[in-house]
Chains A and B, each alone.
Chain A
Amino acid sequence: MESLILVLVGVLVAVATYLILSKQLLRVILGTAVLSHAAHLLILTMGGLKKGGVPLIGESEGPYTDALPQALILTAIVISFAVTAFVLVLGYRAYKMNGTGNFDELRGTPDE
């Protein structure tokens, strides 16, 4: 199971890298969103996938599954939501102000 998830992480990273390297602003933003999900999956996998019972005393006999990675990615997901929302707004404003979403044209002129 772990190896399967790791392959999935690899695929997600590949997709995200492809998207981030493109020139369209929106694609880059989507790429960063995919990238953060790959990282979350990686944390979950590195902490060990479900190996034992629920980590609640009285509910199961143990050994318990490590609950910490889930707490970690919960935090990380919230942060990545916030950042993605912010970048989307920022990207929209930059598109409106500069009139383009293409990174080549966003470079600007040196005399500005």
Chain B
Amino acid sequence: MSNIIVLPLIVPVITAILLVFMRENVLLQRIISLLTLVFVAIISIVLLMEIQVQGVMRIDFSGWLPPFGISFVADSFAVLLVFVANIVAAICVLYAIFTIGERYEKMYFYSFTLLMIAGVNGSFLTGDIFNLFVCFEVMLLASYALISLGGEKIQLREALKYVLINIVASWIFLVALAFLYGTVGTLNMAHIAVRVMEAGNDPLITTVALIFLIVFSLKAGLLLFFWLPGSYSVPPTAIAALFAALLTKVGIYALIRTFTLLFTNNTEVTHTVLGVMAGLTIIAGCMGALAGRDVRTIASYNVLIGVGFIVAGLAIGTESALQGVTYYLMHDMVAKAMLFLAVGMMIYLTGETVIDKMSGLIRNYPVFGWMFFIVMCSLAGIPPLSGFLGKVLIGQGAIEGGNFVLLGLGFLSSLIVLYSLLRIFLSSFFGETIISLEDEKPLPRRVELPVILLALCTIALGIGAEWMSPYITDAAETLHTPSIYIDAVLDGAKWQGEVNE
């Protein structure tokens, strides 16, 4: 039964390769890629149910038992993220089908997207830190290709910066891996956790933890994010939405995994640094969102505020904060994809990017206008939409943990998110319309459909919170008590003896 853990990685890879041979048959490519993503989402629901019954699951490739082989570990946290990531990806692909055009579709757009999803799913599920690096690289190589797809001047320029930043980050990842392997002599994450706990307050391990912090911050867009607004604004809308929804989240996932499971000894140092970085990211993101006049810039800085807020929850680290982190991470994937799709549609409809030059869109496109209103409320955290509960839980954790600075920053940032998006809403959607009836570009219902689907997702996440709560509680419990994960991977007493030798 546990064999199905590998499907979220392997199915997208296989279909991506098959799609390469179907280059001319665009219709088939569309159908297969959508089916794949939906299939993986269904698999993750099955996994989620199974985990509630038999606890954290794992699969050892070729029967090499941990800590020697490579294994995939599925706990509720990882599987929930796989589920949401694939749903969001399916909706973004749906949007791409309607909008991106045959030129992109014949340039292997679907293959690259599926490979990127495979990397994302692999990063969520892997239980081996070197395998995490490999999955990261799979995801990044596909994203390099996607960001430069189309080959326009500005795309190539931004792609170069994005690629170079990520190569340097990957290099630091390798250095951190080298030092970690030299210090604890293992790569299995659960086994590393055991060894690190045995080593106690070793300064070398703290240093390694801080190097990992730098690497994953670069990938997640925490503090060292200067590449992000540029590179997220150049690709076509569907790709930008995929990036905003998934890429930074994988970095955040890695941060959460590393700092709840691996490096839990010296929290005064590591979690303080995390908290400071999260706070600074929130502040910088807010300043960018307030200063931006370009809708894409404002949307990109909103990504950063989200990253800062989630990592603030991680830095607080109490169980309710971790519940909030899980919930908010899922919400953020949905809401950021929706925001980027909405922004892309605004640019498509008006041909402008600066907010002052658009006006009265809601007269011509009422449904789309109210969709933007929903995403604004959702990101600001207004109930019953999905942002609310995550913010409440993180806030509750901050009060329990006495982290009042982060609490204040987090909630002030909600106001600034609301203000920055309200500014777009008021100046671009309300007011006199600038588009005359003759110039009005038709907006077919099917193009609006993906945005409506995402809106339904965010409403469902908010209203269905009660139904989601057992899974989220389980995810947070596993994160808060690393021994559950460690026992599940190292098979309790059976391997403990040999491991400790």
Contacts and interface: CB of A to CB of B under 8 A. Distances in A.
B147 to A, nearest CB: 10
B171 A39 contact: yes
B175 to A, nearest CB: 6
Given A42-B178, A83-B137, A87-B163, A20 B151 contact: no
Contact of A90 (B154, B159, B178): B159
Interface residues of B, number: 30
B150 to A, nearest CB: 11
Interface string B160-187: 1001100110110011011101100001
Contacts of B181: 43, 46-47, 68-69, 72
B134 interface: yes
Contacts of A106: 157, 160
Interface string B368-382: 000000000000000
A36 B175 CA distance: 10
Given A47-B181, A86-B145, A87-B163, A98 B157 contact: yes
B300 to A, nearest CB: 15
Nearest to B173: A39
Contacts of A69: 181
Given A75-B134, A97-B156, A108-B154, A90 B144 contact: yes
A43 B134 CA distance: 15
B287 interface: no
A66 B320 CA distance: 43
A36 to B, nearest CB: 6
B139 to A, nearest CB: 12
Contacts of A83: 137, 141, 144, 163, 167, 170
Most buried by B among A36, A47, A83: A83
A98 B156 contact: yes
B29 interface: no
B164 A72 contact: no
B168 A35 contact: yes
B182 A46 contact: yes
A108 B137 contact: no
Contacts of B458: none
A11 interface: no
B130 interface: yes
A32 B148 contact: no
A64 to B, nearest CB: 14
Contacts of A97: 151-153, 156
A25 B134 CA distance: 26
Given A82-B141, A90-B148, A47 B182 contact: yes
Interface of A: 20, 25, 28, 32, 35-36, 38-40, 42-43, 45-47, 68-69, 72, 75-76, 79, 82-83, 86-87, 90-91, 93-94, 97-98, 106-108, 112
